[in-house]
């Protein structure tokens, strides 16, 4: 029951989050950013991916990003892996929960002001371990 309650809370927050995050505009070296700012710098983006997501979930890039069609490296813009869609929802949820429940006024992924981060629930696991 507790697990179900948590999931409902997270799902609700995700839906709220997708409505509250502003669309970004402007030129970008990245072609398929939906949650992160299109004006994000390479260092900011890599910091979020490396320190927040990779370390927070104990995964590497290939967990969400599909292999490149030519077999060399990853196609970072591709949405082929469902994990990437889930990750976007989780990012929205994280931002929303920080704003709504922890009163972080301008939550930004990677910012030290966040109260909740990926690691808060994931604790280094791809799938968070929840109490039964």
Partner 1 sequence: MAWAGTGVLWMMSGGIMRSYGMSQLIDKTTGGLKKGLTIPSSDFSFVQISDSHIGFNKAANPDVVGTLQAAIDKINAMSSAPAFVLHTGDLTHLAQADEFDTLEQSLKSVKTEKIFYVPGEHDFTDNGKLYLERFGKGTKGNGYYSFDANGVHFIGLNNVTNHVDGGLGYLGPDQLKWLENDLQPLTNSTPIVVFAHIPLWAIYPQWGWGTEDSAQALALLKRFGSVSVLNGHIHQTIQKVEGNMTFHTACSTAFPQPAPGSAPSAGPMKVPAEKLRTMLGLTLVDYKEHDHTLAITDTPLIA
Site for partner 1 in 2-41 (CB under 8 A): none
* Chosen residue from 7, 15, 46, 77 binding partner 1 by CB under 8 A: 46
Kindly report the three-state secondary structure assignment for every residue of the chain.
CHHHHHHHHHHHHHHHHHHHCCCCCCCCCCCCCCCCCCCCCHHHHHHHHHHHHHHHHCCCHHHCCEECCCCCCEECCCCCCHHHHHHHHHHHHHHHHHHHHHCCCCCCCCCCCCCCCHHHHHCCCCCCCCCC
Question: Does residue number 86 form part of the binding site for partner 1 (CB under 8 A)?
Answer: no
Question: Does residue number 61 form part of the binding site for partner 1 (CB under 8 A)?
Answer: yes
Question: Does residue number 74 form part of the binding site for partner 1 (CB under 8 A)?
Answer: yes
Residue among 10 and 59 whose Cβ is closer to partner 1: 59
Question: Does residue number 51 form part of the binding site for partner 1 (CB under 8 A)?
Answer: yes
Residues in contact with partner 1 by the rule CB under 8 A: 42-43, 46-47, 49-51, 55, 58-63, 65, 67-68, 71-74, 76, 123-126
């Amino acid at each position: 029951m507790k697990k179900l309650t948590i999931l409902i809370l997270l799902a609700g927050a995700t839906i709220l989050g997708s409505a509250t995050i502003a669309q970004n505009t402007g030129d970008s070296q990245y072609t398929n950013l939906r949650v992160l700012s299109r004006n994000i710098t390479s260092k900011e983006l890599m910091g979020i991916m490396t320190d927040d997501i990779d370390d927070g979930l104990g995964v590497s890039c290939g967990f969400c990003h599909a292999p490149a069609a030519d077999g060399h490296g990853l196609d970072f813009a591709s949405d082929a892996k469902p994990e990437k869609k889930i990750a976007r929802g989780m990012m929205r949820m994280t931002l929303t929960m920080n704003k709504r429940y922890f009163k972080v006024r301008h939550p930004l992924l990677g910012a030290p002001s966040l109260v909740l981060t990926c690691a808060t629930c994931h604790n280094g696991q791809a799938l968070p371990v929840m109490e039964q």
